[in-house]
Amino acid sequence: MEKGNITFHHGKVNCCERYKILGQKGLVVWLTGLSASGKSTIAAETERRLIDLGRAVYRLDGDNIRFGLNSDLGFSEKDRFENIRRVAEVCALFKDAGLIVIASFISPLSSMRQMAREKAGDNFLEVYVKASVEVCAERDPKGLYERAFKGEIKDFTGVSAPYEEPEKPDIILDTEKYSQDKCVERLTREILGKSALKTVKA
C-alpha cells in the first residue's frame, strides 16, 4: 500500500511465527456496554485469570486510554469515532504480535464496533456486557448518571446520547442475571478456545 510519500514496509516475520513463539493465537476481545455495566471489572479479572494460566494478555480500558494516547479527544461523536479508531488500530497491532488484547470501551454505535472488527481481522470476539440504564444508574460508582439525568453532562450514553445494542454479538454477558465470577468464567473459557494455537494455519 502506498499513500503519498509513504510506503507500507513488509517485514520478514509473519503473525503465525509470533503465535508459535507465544503458544497462542493473537485475539481481540472487544467488550461493549453502558457505563457501569461491568466491562472494566470483568476485563480486569479475566486478564488476571489468563495471566495466571500463563497466557500473554494485555487490557485496554476506556477511561485509562484517555489519560495518554487519546488525552486530546473529547466526547463529541467525531472524537468518539477517533477514540475507537485509534484503539482498534492498537488492538490490531497487539493481535498481530500474538497477544490476547481485552478492550473495554462503551463504543455505543454499531459502526464503531464494526470498524474495530474489520481492523482486527479474523480473530475477534465482540462481547456485549448487558445491563439496563436503570441498573447501571443504581450501580454508578462515579455518580455520572445522576449528573447526566440533571443535564450536567451532555452526550452521556444511554441518557442523552444513543447506545445501539449489538444485534449479533459473539457473547452476551448479562450482569443483571449472572454474577461477576460466572461472567468471567465464561469469558475466560471462550478466550482460551478462540486463542488455542491448534487452530493456527501456517
Q: Which residues are catalytic?
A: 104
Number of H helices, E strands in the chain: 8, 7
Give the single-character DSSP code of 173.
E
Residue 150: how many other CB atoms lie within 10 Å? 8
Contact between 100 and 195 (Cβ < 8 Å):
yes
Contact between 187 and 126 (Cβ < 8 Å):
no
Residue 69: how many other CB atoms lie within 10 Å? 14
